[in-house]
Amino acid sequence: MHISDGVLPVSVSLGGYAVSVALAAWSARRTTSVQLPKVAVVTSAFFVASLVHIPLGPTSAHLLLPGLAGALLGPVAFIAIGLGLLLQCLLFQFGGLTALGANALMMGLPAIACGWLFQALKGNTHLRHAVAGAAAGATGTAMAAVFLAGFLAAGGEDFFGVAKIAMAAHVPVIVIEGAISAFTIGFLFRVKPELLETGLVTPKKEIHG
Amino acid sequence: MAETIHHIPLWYLPLLVILPIAALWAGVTGLRKTARKKTAADRDPDWSVPPLADQSQSGSFLHKWDVRCKIVTIVVFSFVVASLGHLAAALAAVALSLSVAVMIKVPAARLMLRLLALAGFLGMLLVVMPFTVPVHPGDTLVVFGGVEWLTLNFRGLLLASTIAARAVAIAMLMEPLLSTAPLPVTLHGLCRLGVPEMAAQMVLLSNRYVHVFSHEARRMSAGMQVRGFRKRTDTATLRTVANFLGMLFVRSFERTERVFDAMRARGYQDRFPEPVNLRLCASDLLICLAWLAAAAALVVWDRIIL
């Protein structure tokens, strides 16, 4: 779930912008600038993936995928997520213009953390990859929920109730996200394991021209 | 000053709370369906063409306005709107945004689709906040049939409505901001305002490929449906959807490599050609000033008079 316009105090949304821009610059420095167009194209794939709805009893939930993005892209995931949110703003207007910085932090920081978590946990076997994927997926969503609650609570004690309910609403999504990430990582391990080794966007090195 | 408490019987609860929520929910779902149908019909069925550059109604002042002025003005105005504290001021901002949208003849269905995207989050606030805000002195409370934990606080309702009005006012400006110029021109304007050129290129590329990949995803899910796959709440569905995502990533990552190679083969060197030559004239600044004056008036009204 993304924060919409008009919810956050202006100081929080401006602060969110400042921190996001700094993190995006740091994230961009982790790869060669020639490779950034690749990040853009990969972002569109994640964007399309995040539109998939999973049925959940009478309703359905759409995937957030910060964990998976972190696992596959590494630190560049922050840029990818910021870009994805900007696209969402362009195409659908979920999570509006003024809340963009806060939303990028809410999804991007968990992605970076999950990238590290995934790299630390994944071993050499199929099972360990799947477990690491599950951990990354579930942690990513859980962290995003905590950030969401934190941002909402920044509005004052009037928002504490909303923050609690928003957190509770994320619990089933955390389970689904963990399972989906585990299965997806397992699939990629069997089908195209080199994606999990270095990711698509390689860190700074020479490219053959 | 103590809070005002009204006691009403419990059977009012469905009448006053659950019925409006159900009606709202049904209305939103219905409208979303019709709006989606309408926008899908008048759009080119080929999704690889980004729909943002709408040339059909070019002629309004927003189409001719310098794109840099437009971006600065609308962004500043959005932040001003986000800082408004009173419902009346926020509603005035909604009226202003709506009049701009009407002036440039935004198709109603597209505007509706943007607003409906907000409905989930704002609906949650509107339902949750009246029951959860802490009671302050001077609040008006409604207690349903003596059930203490189910207390409706009018201050929460007012707060949630103010938030909703601010969100709607900003959301309605997105169409004037984005669809009155082709996306490359808007992004060029952003670059001239100091945004790194690479960022603009990335937006352009990913906007292009979102449509390509969603086309691909749709073909894959059509294939799955033909083979008898139906979504249910079970692990088999999760596993299948995960394989679907994995396949989408494999295909799109391979495509990414090919796209990137093709770009480099055509001599791509971190730059796209400039789409337009921007020139600022007095009328651009005049519109900018008029709009920002309206924003300042709103702030004055919100902070000092109300």
For residue A155, give the nearest of A11, A8, A16 by alpha carbon.
Answer: A8
B295, two tokens: 């924003």
Shortest Cα distance, chain B CAs vs residue A79, angstroms: 9
Q: Is B241 on the interface with A (CB under 8 A)?
A: yes
Q: Which of residues 81-110 of B touch A (CB under 8 A)?
A: 81-83, 90
Give the DSSP per-residue string, chain B: -PPEEEEE-TTHHIIIIIHHHHHHHHHHHHHHHHHHHHHHHSS-S-TTS-TT---TTTTSHHHHS-HHHHHHHHHHHHHHHHT--SHHHHHHHHHHHHHHHHHTT--HHHHHHHHHHHHHHHHHHHHHHHHHSPP-TT-EEEEETT-TT-EEEHHHHHHHHHHHHHHHHHHHTHHHHHTTS-HHHHHHHHHHTT--HHHHHHHHHHHHHHHHHHHHHHHHHHHHHHTT----SSHHHHHHHHHHHHHHHHHHHHHHHHHHHHHHHTT--S-----------HHHHHHHHHHHHHHHHHHHIIIII-
The minimum CA-CA distance between A107 and chain B, rounded to whole Å, is 17
B95 and B167, same structural domain? yes
Strands B140-144 and B4-8: parallel
Position B127 in a domain: yes
For chain A, list the domains and their CATH numbers: 10-51+61-193 (1.10.1760.20)
ipTM confidence score: 0.83
Place of tokens 């840029």: A79
| Enclosing domain of residue B257 | 192-265
pLDDT on residue A105: 93
Two tokens at B235? 């692990």
Which residues are registered as beta bridge partners of B141?
A: B5, B153
Is the pLDDT assigned to residue B266 strictly greater than 60?
yes
pLDDT at position A94: 61
Mean of pLDDT values over A154-167: 88
Question: Same domain for B144 and B237?
Answer: no
B84 located within any domain: yes
Tell me if B246 and A83 make a contact (CB, 8 A cut-off).
no
User: Mean pLDDT across chain B, nearest whole number?
Assistant: 83
Q: What's the CA gap between A83 and B229, in Å, rounded?
A: 32
Q: Does residue B20 sit in the same domain as residue B132?
A: yes
In a domain, B250, yes or no: yes
User: B111 touching A, CB under 8 A?
Assistant: no
pLDDT attached to residue B50: 46
Note whether B125 contacts A: Cβ–Cβ < 8 A: yes
**Contact assignment for B253 to A42 by CB distance below 8 Å:** yes
Q: Within a domain: residue B167? A: yes
How far A123 CA sits from the closest chain B CA (Å)?
19
* Element holding A35 (H helix, E strand): none
- Residue B37 has phi, psi (to 5 degrees) of -60, -45
3-state secondary structure of A53: strand
Residue B296 lies inside a defined structural domain of this protein: yes
Q: Are residues B175 and B198 in the same domain?
A: no
Give the per-residue pLDDT at B1.
55
Residue B23 shares a structural domain with residue B72: yes
| A44, A63, A157: best to mutate for the B interface, most B CBs within 10 A | A44
Per-residue pLDDT tens for B145-190?
Answer: 767 777 888 888 899 999 999 999 998 888 888 878 888 888 888 8
Residue A7 CB contacts under 8 Å (≥ 6 apart), including other chains: A99, A152, A155, B125, B163, B167
Give the model confidence (pLDDT) of B72-100 as tens digits: 999 999 999 999 989 999 999 999 999 99
The per-residue pLDDT for range B98-148, each reduced to its tens digit, is 999 888 888 888 788 888 888 888 888 888 888 888 888 878 888 877 677
Q: What is the average pLDDT across B275-292?
A: 85
pLDDT for residue B45 is more than 60: no
B271 occurs within a structural domain: no
Q: What's the pLDDT band for A48 if we cut at 50, 70, 90?
A: confident
Instruction: Output the pLDDT for position B304.
Output: 84
B125 lies in the same domain as B169: yes
Q: Are residues B41 and B77 in the same domain?
A: yes
Q: A120-155 pLDDT, tens per residue?
A: 888 888 899 999 999 999 999 999 999 999 999 988
Looking at the structure, tell me whether residues B205 and B250 fall in a common domain. Answer: yes
What's the confidence (pLDDT) of residue B40?
58
Which residues numbered 130-189 in B keep a CB inside 8 Å of some CB on A? 131-134, 156, 159, 162-167, 169-171, 174, 178, 183
**What is the chain B residue with the closest CA to A153?**
B133
Q: Looking at residue A202, what is its pLDDT?
A: 57
What's the pLDDT at A93?
60
Instruction: Give whole-number Cα distances, B166 to B91, B95, B179, in Å.
Output: 8, 11, 21
Q: For residue B216, give the nearest of B256, B276, B274 by alpha carbon.
A: B256
A58, two tokens: 């009478």
**Record: contact A183-B253, CB cut-off 8 A:** no
In a domain, B26, yes or no: yes
Do B176 and B210 share a domain, yes or no? no
Please state the rounded mean pLDDT for residues B51-63: 63
Mutation for testing the B interface, residue in A90, A152, A190 having most B CBs under 10 Å: A90
Residues B150 and B34 in one domain: yes
Total domain count, chain B:
2
Q: For residues B265 and A95, which has the higher predicted lDDT (pLDDT)?
A: B265
In this structure, are B99 and B72 located in the same domain? yes
Q: Alpha helix locations (H) across chain A?
A: 10-29, 36-49, 66-73, 77-91, 100-121, 126-153, 160-191, 194-197
Residue of A nearest to B221 (CA): A52
- Closest residue in chain A to residue B164, using alpha carbons only: A6
A95 pLDDT band, cuts 50/70/90, is low
Query: Using CB atoms within 10 A of its CB, is residue A148 exposed (0-12), middle (13-18) or buried (19+)?
Result: buried
Chain B CB contacts of A85 under 8 Å are none
Query: Residue A113 — very low, low, confident or very high, per pLDDT cuts 50/70/90?
Result: very high
Per residue in B14-29, pLDDT tens?
777 788 888 888 888 8
Say if B272 falls within a structural domain: no
Element (H, E) at A56: strand A53-56
| End-to-end CA gap in chain A | 42
Q: Which two tokens stand for residue A46?
A: 């994640």
Amino acid at B53: A
Residue B36 has pLDDT above 90, yes or no: no
Is the CB of residue B69 less than 8 Å from the CB of residue B285?
yes
Q: Which of A6, A53, A57 sits opposite B163 (nearest CB)?
A: A6
- How many residues does this entry show for chain A? 209
**Residue B273 buriedness (CB in 10 A; 0-12 / 13-18 / 19+):** exposed
H or E segment at A61?
strand A59-62
CA end-to-end span of chain B: 21
The length of chain B in residues reads 306
The pLDDT assigned to B117 comes to 80
Residues A43-60, mean pLDDT to the nearest whole number: 81
Co-location of B155 and B34 in the same domain? yes
Contact B144, B91 (CB under 8 A): no
